[in-house]
Amino acid sequence: MKTRPLFLALAMTFSASSFAADPSLVFTSWGGTTQDAQKSIWADGFSKAQNIAVLQDGPTDYGKIKAMVESGNVSWDVVDVEGDYAVRAGMEGMLEKLDFSVIDKSRLDPRFVTDYSVGSFYYSFVIGCNKDAVKACPKTWADLFDLAKFPGKRTFYKWSAPGVIEAALLADGVPAEKLYPLDLDRAFKKLDTIKSSIVWWSSGAQSQQLLASAETPYGFFWNGRLTALTKTGVNVETSWDQNITAADMLVVPKGAKNKAAAMKYIAFATSAASQAKFAELTGYAPINLVSPTLMPKEVRDTLPDKQAATQVNANLGYWAMHRDDIGTRWYAWQAQ
């Protein structure tokens, strides 16, 4: 895709004269290729348009956010977080309310807008496979949990969050429309069947390394990480069957030192042009509803929102209310 029209659009929408000068700010995300794209498209573009330095930090750490807010010593200004965390943290008073006189929420997907957060990007958990490392690739969640048909190690997300529990239940035959409330007994019983064959990934970059090296020739991945890995020459097959969708969100921790600049940064990051360019680079879907008009069809057709035939939407509200209870059981099970 040609990039010049997008950057012209960015410059037109966010000219340097649009905002008064602000101090530098700190943006925190998950690292790897996703944060590389956030830096090159959002941070660097914002800095050029506004003459405001954007410093990078990471990875996102919820315990660190809590400690910062409670101590009153907040060093992060904008943070990329998981959707269920954003809902819960907003309810618990950990976040600043967003300024929608600066951020144009009228163009954002309403599924990913709250008083305290807006979508960063929209993604799916999918099955990924290194085709050069195996004779056959799993196509369904049931396949991924089948050690007889697909022996060896497989990788899953380490942290307690939407995705793995749902995948286990789907693999065990639970219909998508009956996933919630989550049957944890059934999910953990299914996970027990492959526990000894799981290698856990704790970051997107680690998941890519595990697949590329074939230490785990298949597993559970963020779709964008597979898109990025394919671009490096790894022969990746992605199965979208019952892909499990969720979104990352942008938030401002309570007490952030550069709150005004943070609101302007979020406005820039969620603008149509910024979201379109980010989607092209990462394979994650834009949350700005205008962005698709700026993207070529061949790119649009590869994004999660175009894989809706068997798509399963994670219930972020359910997770926000039950994350702690699920997490307690999740980490105890991992430690056994």
Q: Is the pLDDT of residue 261 over 80?
A: yes
Q: Is the pLDDT of residue 115 over 80?
A: yes
297-308: b or e for each residue (b if 16 or more CB lie within 10 Å)? eebbebbbbebe
pLDDT band at 64 (very low <50, low <70, confident <90, very high): very high
pLDDT band at 308 (very low <50, low <70, confident <90, very high): confident
Whether residues 270 and 189 fall in one domain: no
Residue 80: the pLDDT is 98
Q: Which residue has the tokens 């509803």?
A: 289
Residue 300: the pLDDT is 84
Whether residues 114 and 22 fall in one domain: yes
Q: Is the pLDDT of residue 16 over 90?
A: no
Whether residues 254 and 222 fall in one domain: no
Whether residues 300 and 326 fall in one domain: no
Residue 1: the pLDDT is 36
| Calpha distance 276→296 (Å, rounded) | 10
| Calpha distance 131→128 (Å, rounded) | 9
Q: How many domains does the chain have?
A: 2
Whether residues 79 and 178 fall in one domain: no
Whether residues 220 and 300 fall in one domain: no
**For residues 107-126, average pLDDT:** 94
| Calpha distance 282→35 (Å, rounded) | 10
Whether residues 76 and 129 fall in one domain: no
Kindly state the percentage of the chain with pLDDT values over 90: 81
| Calpha distance 223→284 (Å, rounded) | 7
Whether residues 87 and 11 fall in one domain: yes
Question: Of the given ranges (67-76, 125-134, 238-247, 308-317), which has the lowest mean pLDDT?
Answer: 308-317
Whether residues 9 and 68 fall in one domain: yes
Helices (H), 14-53: 32-37, 44-50
Element (H, E) at 238: strand 236-251
Cα 141 to chain center, whole Å? 20
Residue 166: the pLDDT is 98
Whether residues 108 and 15 fall in one domain: yes
pLDDT averaged over every residue in the chain: 91
Residue 137: the pLDDT is 98
3-state SS class at 162: coil
Whether residues 118 and 131 fall in one domain: no
Query: Radius of gyration over alpha carbons of the chain, in Å?
Result: 20
pLDDT band at 204 (very low <50, low <70, confident <90, very high): confident
Range of the domain at 204: 123-246+312-335
Question: Of the given ranges (32-36, 67-71, 88-92, 196-200), which has the lowest mean pLDDT?
Answer: 32-36
Element (H, E) at 81: strand 78-82
Whether residues 96 and 241 fall in one domain: no
- pLDDT tens, 136-154? 999 999 999 999 999 999 9
CATH number of the CATH domain containing 137:
3.40.190.10
